[in-house]
Protein backbone atom coordinates (compact mmCIF):
# COMPACT_ATOMS: atom_id res chain seq x y z
CA UNK A 1 0.00 0.00 0.00
CA UNK A 2 1.53 3.34 -1.04
CA UNK A 3 1.66 6.46 1.10
CA UNK A 4 -1.52 8.04 -0.30
CA UNK A 5 -3.50 4.84 0.15
CA UNK A 6 -2.32 4.60 3.76
CA UNK A 7 -3.38 8.18 4.43
CA UNK A 8 -6.79 7.47 2.86
CA UNK A 9 -7.29 4.45 5.14
CA UNK A 10 -6.66 6.63 8.18
CA UNK A 11 -8.89 9.55 7.23
CA UNK A 12 -11.83 7.93 5.44
CA UNK A 13 -15.21 7.89 7.17
CA UNK A 14 -14.07 10.40 9.79
CA UNK A 15 -15.58 13.70 10.91
CA UNK A 16 -12.29 15.31 11.91
CA UNK A 17 -8.55 14.70 11.56
CA UNK A 18 -6.01 16.86 13.38
CA UNK A 19 -4.36 17.23 10.98
CA UNK A 20 -4.26 15.75 7.49
CA UNK A 21 -0.75 17.09 6.95
CA UNK A 22 0.38 15.48 10.20
CA UNK A 23 -0.94 12.09 9.06
CA UNK A 24 1.33 12.27 6.02
CA UNK A 25 4.27 13.40 8.15
CA UNK A 26 3.60 10.51 10.54
CA UNK A 27 4.01 7.97 7.75
CA UNK A 28 7.11 9.79 6.52
CA UNK A 29 8.68 9.39 9.97
CA UNK A 30 7.72 5.80 10.60
CA UNK A 31 6.70 2.78 8.56
CA UNK A 32 4.80 1.40 11.58
CA UNK A 33 3.32 4.35 13.49
CA UNK A 34 1.64 3.62 16.81
CA UNK A 35 -2.10 4.23 17.13
CA UNK A 36 -4.54 3.63 19.95
CA UNK A 37 -8.23 3.44 20.66
CA UNK A 38 -9.22 3.87 24.29
CA UNK A 39 -12.49 2.62 25.73
CA UNK A 40 -13.99 2.27 29.18
CA UNK A 41 -14.87 -1.39 29.87
CA UNK A 42 -18.38 -0.64 31.02
CA UNK A 43 -20.73 -3.10 29.33
CA UNK A 44 -21.59 -4.75 26.06
CA UNK A 45 -20.57 -3.33 22.70
CA UNK A 46 -23.34 -1.86 20.58
CA UNK A 47 -23.69 -1.66 16.82
CA UNK A 48 -22.40 1.88 17.26
CA UNK A 49 -19.03 0.30 18.06
CA UNK A 50 -18.95 -1.06 14.51
CA UNK A 51 -17.76 2.45 13.62
CA UNK A 52 -14.81 2.00 16.01
CA UNK A 53 -14.04 -1.54 14.86
CA UNK A 54 -14.01 -0.44 11.22
CA UNK A 55 -11.58 2.38 11.98
CA UNK A 56 -9.27 0.08 13.96
CA UNK A 57 -9.25 -2.26 10.96
CA UNK A 58 -8.48 0.74 8.71
CA UNK A 59 -5.55 1.69 10.94
CA UNK A 60 -4.23 -1.86 10.88
CA UNK A 61 -4.55 -2.02 7.10
CA UNK A 62 -2.68 1.29 6.88
CA UNK A 63 0.25 -0.36 8.63
CA UNK A 64 -0.22 1.11 12.09
CA UNK A 65 0.56 -0.81 15.25
CA UNK A 66 -2.80 -0.52 17.00
CA UNK A 67 -3.37 -0.67 20.74
CA UNK A 68 -6.76 -1.31 22.31
CA UNK A 69 -6.53 0.58 25.61
CA UNK A 70 -8.94 -0.73 28.23
CA UNK A 71 -9.39 2.22 30.56
CA UNK A 72 -10.34 0.33 33.71
CA UNK A 73 -9.30 3.03 36.16
CA UNK A 74 -11.17 5.61 34.10
CA UNK A 75 -14.32 3.47 34.21
CA UNK A 76 -13.86 3.19 37.99
CA UNK A 77 -13.59 6.99 38.30
CA UNK A 78 -16.64 7.34 36.08
CA UNK A 79 -18.73 5.04 38.33
CA UNK A 80 -19.24 2.46 35.60
CA UNK A 81 -20.57 -0.98 36.61
CA UNK A 82 -21.06 0.22 40.15
CA UNK A 83 -17.39 1.07 40.48
CA UNK A 84 -16.51 -2.64 40.71
CA UNK A 85 -13.05 -3.24 39.25
CA UNK A 86 -13.84 -6.95 39.06
CA UNK A 87 -16.88 -6.33 36.86
CA UNK A 88 -14.96 -3.73 34.84
CA UNK A 89 -12.22 -6.30 34.18
CA UNK A 90 -14.81 -8.86 33.03
CA UNK A 91 -16.22 -6.26 30.63
CA UNK A 92 -12.73 -5.57 29.30
CA UNK A 93 -12.10 -9.24 28.56
CA UNK A 94 -15.42 -9.45 26.71
CA UNK A 95 -14.68 -6.27 24.72
CA UNK A 96 -11.34 -7.66 23.59
CA UNK A 97 -13.04 -10.77 22.24
CA UNK A 98 -15.91 -8.77 20.73
CA UNK A 99 -13.64 -6.49 18.72
CA UNK A 100 -11.68 -9.49 17.43
CA UNK A 101 -14.98 -11.14 16.48
CA UNK A 102 -15.84 -8.04 14.43
CA UNK A 103 -12.67 -8.44 12.39
CA UNK A 104 -10.01 -6.47 14.25
CA UNK A 105 -6.82 -8.50 13.73
CA UNK A 106 -6.07 -9.95 17.16
CA UNK A 107 -2.70 -11.27 16.00
CA UNK A 108 -1.33 -7.74 15.59
CA UNK A 109 -3.51 -5.91 18.15
CA UNK A 110 -1.84 -4.89 21.41
CA UNK A 111 -4.16 -4.86 24.43
CA UNK A 112 -3.22 -2.64 27.36
CA UNK A 113 -5.00 -1.84 30.62
CA UNK A 114 -4.91 1.51 32.38
CA UNK A 115 -3.77 -0.29 35.55
CA UNK A 116 -0.51 -1.10 33.76
CA UNK A 117 0.24 2.64 33.69
CA UNK A 118 -1.17 3.78 37.02
CA UNK A 119 1.40 1.80 39.02
CA UNK A 120 4.17 4.00 37.63
CA UNK A 121 5.53 7.12 39.34
CA UNK A 122 6.39 8.49 35.89
CA UNK A 123 2.74 8.22 34.86
CA UNK A 124 1.50 10.27 37.80
CA UNK A 125 4.28 12.80 37.26
CA UNK A 126 2.97 13.17 33.72
CA UNK A 127 -0.60 13.60 35.01
CA UNK A 128 0.58 16.35 37.38
CA UNK A 129 2.49 18.15 34.61
CA UNK A 130 -0.60 18.11 32.41
CA UNK A 131 -2.78 19.31 35.28
CA UNK A 132 -0.29 22.11 36.05
CA UNK A 133 -0.55 23.26 32.44
CA UNK A 134 -4.36 23.21 32.47
CA UNK A 135 -6.70 25.63 34.21
CA UNK A 136 -9.50 24.29 36.36
CA UNK A 137 -12.03 25.79 33.94
CA UNK A 138 -10.33 24.03 31.01
CA UNK A 139 -10.35 20.73 32.94
CA UNK A 140 -14.04 21.05 33.70
CA UNK A 141 -14.84 21.76 30.07
CA UNK A 142 -12.95 18.61 29.09
CA UNK A 143 -14.99 16.60 31.57
CA UNK A 144 -17.78 16.25 29.00
CA UNK A 145 -15.72 13.22 27.88
CA UNK A 146 -17.22 11.45 30.89
CA UNK A 147 -20.68 12.01 29.49
CA UNK A 148 -21.29 14.65 32.12
CA UNK A 149 -21.69 18.39 32.22
CA UNK A 150 -19.17 20.49 34.11
CA UNK A 151 -22.12 22.14 35.88
CA UNK A 152 -23.26 18.87 37.45
CA UNK A 153 -23.86 19.54 41.13
CA UNK A 154 -22.87 16.19 42.64
CA UNK A 155 -19.36 15.71 41.28
CA UNK A 156 -16.69 13.87 43.24
CA UNK A 157 -13.12 15.15 43.10
CA UNK A 158 -11.78 12.01 41.43
CA UNK A 159 -13.53 13.02 38.21
CA UNK A 160 -11.26 16.05 37.97
CA UNK A 161 -8.35 13.64 37.42
CA UNK A 162 -9.93 12.11 34.34
CA UNK A 163 -8.98 14.61 31.58
CA UNK A 164 -5.33 14.80 32.68
CA UNK A 165 -5.17 11.02 32.94
CA UNK A 166 -6.63 10.54 29.47
CA UNK A 167 -4.11 12.96 28.01
CA UNK A 168 -1.27 11.30 29.94
CA UNK A 169 -2.23 7.88 28.55
CA UNK A 170 -1.36 9.08 25.04
CA UNK A 171 2.19 10.01 26.02
CA UNK A 172 2.87 7.14 28.41
CA UNK A 173 1.83 4.33 26.06
CA UNK A 174 3.17 6.14 23.86
CA UNK A 175 1.31 6.66 20.57
CA UNK A 176 1.64 8.73 17.41
CA UNK A 177 -2.10 8.75 16.70
CA UNK A 178 -5.03 8.93 19.09
CA UNK A 179 -8.34 7.65 17.73
CA UNK A 180 -11.82 7.94 19.25
CA UNK A 181 -15.35 9.11 18.59
CA UNK A 182 -15.89 12.83 18.19
CA UNK A 183 -17.08 13.03 21.82
CA UNK A 184 -13.44 12.53 22.90
CA UNK A 185 -12.24 15.55 20.92
CA UNK A 186 -11.62 17.79 23.92
CA UNK A 187 -9.31 15.26 25.56
CA UNK A 188 -7.27 14.86 22.38
CA UNK A 189 -7.05 18.63 21.86
CA UNK A 190 -5.89 18.94 25.47
CA UNK A 191 -3.14 16.39 24.78
CA UNK A 192 -2.06 18.31 21.69
CA UNK A 193 -2.00 21.60 23.62
CA UNK A 194 0.17 20.29 26.44
CA UNK A 195 2.45 18.60 23.90
CA UNK A 196 3.20 22.03 22.44
CA UNK A 197 3.64 23.45 25.95
CA UNK A 198 6.23 20.85 26.99
CA UNK A 199 7.72 20.14 23.56
CA UNK A 200 6.43 16.56 23.62
CA UNK A 201 5.61 14.75 20.35
CA UNK A 202 2.23 16.05 19.16
CA UNK A 203 -0.25 13.21 18.57
CA UNK A 204 -2.42 13.07 15.48
CA UNK A 205 -6.10 12.99 16.50
CA UNK A 206 -8.67 11.07 14.44
CA UNK A 207 -12.38 11.26 15.23
CA UNK A 208 -15.32 9.29 13.86
CA UNK A 209 -19.05 10.05 14.16
CA UNK A 210 -21.35 8.81 16.92
CA UNK A 211 -24.54 6.83 16.36
CA UNK A 212 -27.64 8.30 18.01
CA UNK A 213 -29.89 6.45 20.40
CA UNK A 214 -32.56 4.33 18.73
CA UNK A 215 -35.00 6.35 20.84
CA UNK A 216 -34.05 9.51 18.97
CA UNK A 217 -32.98 12.83 20.40
CA UNK A 218 -29.52 12.50 18.90
CA UNK A 219 -28.87 16.16 18.16
CA UNK A 220 -25.21 17.16 18.22
CA UNK A 221 -24.15 19.91 20.64
CA UNK A 222 -21.75 22.02 18.54
CA UNK A 223 -20.04 23.33 21.68
CA UNK A 224 -19.15 19.98 23.28
CA UNK A 225 -19.33 17.78 20.15
CA UNK A 226 -21.45 15.30 22.11
CA UNK A 227 -24.85 13.88 21.30
CA UNK A 228 -27.86 14.76 23.39
CA UNK A 229 -28.63 11.04 23.41
CA UNK A 230 -26.25 8.52 21.82
CA UNK A 231 -26.49 4.79 21.46
CA UNK A 232 -25.44 3.55 24.89
CA UNK A 233 -24.54 0.15 26.29
CA UNK A 234 -25.86 1.37 29.66
CA UNK A 235 -29.37 1.70 28.17
CA UNK A 236 -30.13 -1.50 26.22
CA UNK A 237 -33.36 -0.08 24.82
CA UNK A 238 -31.38 2.66 23.06
CA UNK A 239 -29.09 0.25 21.24
CA UNK A 240 -28.49 -3.13 19.66
CA UNK A 241 -25.90 -4.88 21.78
CA UNK A 242 -23.50 -7.65 20.80
CA UNK A 243 -24.00 -10.51 20.31
CA UNK A 244 -27.43 -9.95 18.77
CA UNK A 245 -29.84 -12.36 17.10
CA UNK A 246 -31.64 -11.52 13.87
CA UNK A 247 -34.84 -11.22 15.88
CA UNK A 248 -33.26 -8.75 18.30
CA UNK A 249 -31.89 -6.64 15.46
CA UNK A 250 -35.21 -6.53 13.61
CA UNK A 251 -37.17 -5.91 16.79
CA UNK A 252 -35.04 -3.00 17.94
CA UNK A 253 -35.06 -1.38 14.52
CA UNK A 254 -38.80 -1.82 14.12
CA UNK A 255 -39.33 0.46 17.10
CA UNK A 256 -36.51 2.88 16.27
CA UNK A 257 -37.01 6.60 15.82
CA UNK A 258 -36.94 7.22 12.05
CA UNK A 259 -38.91 10.27 10.87
CA UNK A 260 -39.46 10.27 7.13
CA UNK A 261 -37.03 12.39 5.07
CA UNK A 262 -35.07 13.55 8.15
CA UNK A 263 -31.32 12.99 8.35
CA UNK A 264 -30.00 14.81 11.42
CA UNK A 265 -30.47 12.84 14.63
CA UNK A 266 -32.02 9.90 12.76
CA UNK A 267 -30.34 6.72 14.11
CA UNK A 268 -31.50 4.48 11.25
CA UNK A 269 -30.08 6.85 8.64
CA UNK A 270 -26.86 7.08 10.69
CA UNK A 271 -26.52 3.30 10.70
CA UNK A 272 -26.62 3.42 6.90
CA UNK A 273 -24.09 6.24 6.66
CA UNK A 274 -21.69 5.32 9.46
CA UNK A 275 -21.93 1.52 9.51
CA UNK A 276 -23.35 -0.10 6.38
CA UNK A 277 -21.61 2.00 3.74
CA UNK A 278 -18.18 1.77 5.44
CA UNK A 279 -18.59 -2.00 5.96
CA UNK A 280 -20.45 -3.06 2.81
CA UNK A 281 -20.07 -0.16 0.40
CA UNK A 282 -23.74 -0.26 -0.62
CA UNK A 283 -27.32 -0.47 0.58
CA UNK A 284 -29.85 -2.88 -0.92
CA UNK A 285 -33.54 -2.35 -0.25
CA UNK A 286 -35.95 -5.18 -0.99
CA UNK A 287 -39.43 -3.99 -1.90
CA UNK A 288 -42.45 -5.66 -3.44
CA UNK A 289 -43.26 -4.65 -7.03
CA UNK A 290 -46.43 -2.90 -5.84
CA UNK A 291 -44.22 -0.64 -3.68
CA UNK A 292 -41.82 0.19 -6.51
CA UNK A 293 -39.56 -2.86 -6.52
CA UNK A 294 -36.04 -3.25 -5.11
CA UNK A 295 -33.57 -0.39 -4.81
CA UNK A 296 -29.77 -0.50 -4.76
CA UNK A 297 -27.61 2.40 -3.62
CA UNK A 298 -23.89 2.39 -4.41
CA UNK A 299 -23.13 5.66 -2.65
CA UNK A 300 -24.22 7.65 0.37
CA UNK A 301 -25.23 10.55 -1.88
CA UNK A 302 -27.61 8.33 -3.87
CA UNK A 303 -29.15 7.01 -0.69
CA UNK A 304 -29.60 10.46 0.87
CA UNK A 305 -31.25 11.81 -2.28
CA UNK A 306 -33.80 8.98 -2.25
CA UNK A 307 -34.38 9.33 1.48
CA UNK A 308 -34.79 13.12 1.63
CA UNK A 309 -37.04 13.13 -1.44
CA UNK A 310 -39.40 10.64 0.20
CA UNK A 311 -38.84 7.87 -2.37
CA UNK A 312 -37.74 5.53 0.42
CA UNK A 313 -40.25 4.66 3.16
CA UNK A 314 -39.02 4.34 6.80
CA UNK A 315 -40.39 0.80 7.10
CA UNK A 316 -38.46 -0.32 4.01
CA UNK A 317 -35.32 1.39 5.26
CA UNK A 318 -35.56 -0.29 8.66
CA UNK A 319 -35.90 -3.71 7.03
CA UNK A 320 -32.90 -3.05 4.78
CA UNK A 321 -30.77 -1.86 7.70
CA UNK A 322 -31.72 -4.92 9.74
CA UNK A 323 -30.66 -7.24 6.91
CA UNK A 324 -27.41 -5.32 6.44
CA UNK A 325 -26.56 -5.45 10.14
CA UNK A 326 -27.25 -9.18 10.20
CA UNK A 327 -24.66 -9.66 7.44
CA UNK A 328 -22.06 -7.42 9.09
CA UNK A 329 -22.57 -9.05 12.48
CA UNK A 330 -22.64 -12.63 11.17
CA UNK A 331 -18.94 -13.31 12.02
CA UNK A 332 -19.50 -11.95 15.53
CA UNK A 333 -22.56 -14.15 16.00
CA UNK A 334 -20.66 -17.23 14.82
CA UNK A 335 -17.77 -16.42 17.17
CA UNK A 336 -19.96 -16.15 20.27
CA UNK A 337 -21.87 -19.31 19.31
CA UNK A 338 -18.56 -21.19 19.08
CA UNK A 339 -17.10 -19.56 22.22
CA UNK A 340 -19.88 -19.29 24.82
CA UNK A 341 -17.26 -18.60 27.49
CA UNK A 342 -16.58 -15.25 25.80
CA UNK A 343 -20.19 -14.07 26.04
CA UNK A 344 -20.79 -11.10 28.35
CA UNK A 345 -21.29 -12.30 31.91
CA UNK A 346 -20.61 -10.86 35.33
CA UNK A 347 -21.34 -7.27 34.41
**What angle do helix axes 162-172 and 121-132 make, rounded to 10 degrees?**
120
Chain mean position to CA 121: 30
Q: Which fold has domain 220-342?
A: Tyrosyl-Transfer RNA Synthetase (1.10.240)
Confirm if 32 and 65 have CB atoms less than 8 A apart: yes
- DSSP codes joined into one string, 242-258: SS--HHHHHHHHHTS--
Percent of the chain, pLDDT > 90?
86
Domains 3-208 and 220-342 share a fold: no
CA gap 62, 68 in Å, rounded: 16
- The reported pLDDT for the residue numbered 347 is 87
Considering the segment(s) 3-208 as one domain, its CATH architecture is 3-Layer(aba) Sandwich (3.40)
- The reported pLDDT for the residue numbered 228 is 59
Sorted by where each begins, the domain ranges of the chain are 3-208, 220-342
Q: What are phi and psi of 19, to 5 degrees?
A: -125, 170
- The reported pLDDT for the residue numbered 141 is 87
CA gap 73, 88 in Å, rounded: 9
CA gap 246, 45 in Å, rounded: 16
Helix ranges, 41-155 (H):
49-61, 72-77, 85-101, 115-118, 121-132, 136-142
Chain mean position to CA 315: 27
- The reported pLDDT for the residue numbered 231 is 73
Chain mean position to CA 2: 27
Instruction: Report, as ranges of residue numbers, the positions in the chain whose pLDDT lies below 50.
Output: 150
- The reported pLDDT for the residue numbered 217 is 72
- The reported pLDDT for the residue numbered 224 is 52
Amino acid sequence: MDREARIDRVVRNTVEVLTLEEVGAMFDRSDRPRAYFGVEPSGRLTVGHLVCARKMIDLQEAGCDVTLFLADWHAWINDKLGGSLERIEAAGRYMTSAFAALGVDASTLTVRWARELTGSQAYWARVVRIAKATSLARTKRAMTILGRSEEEAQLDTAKLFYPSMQAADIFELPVDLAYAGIDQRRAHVLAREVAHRYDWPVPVAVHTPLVSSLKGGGRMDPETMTLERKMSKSDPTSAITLPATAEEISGRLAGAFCPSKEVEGNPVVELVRYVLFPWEGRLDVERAPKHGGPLAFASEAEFLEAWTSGRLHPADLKTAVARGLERVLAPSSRFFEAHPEARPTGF
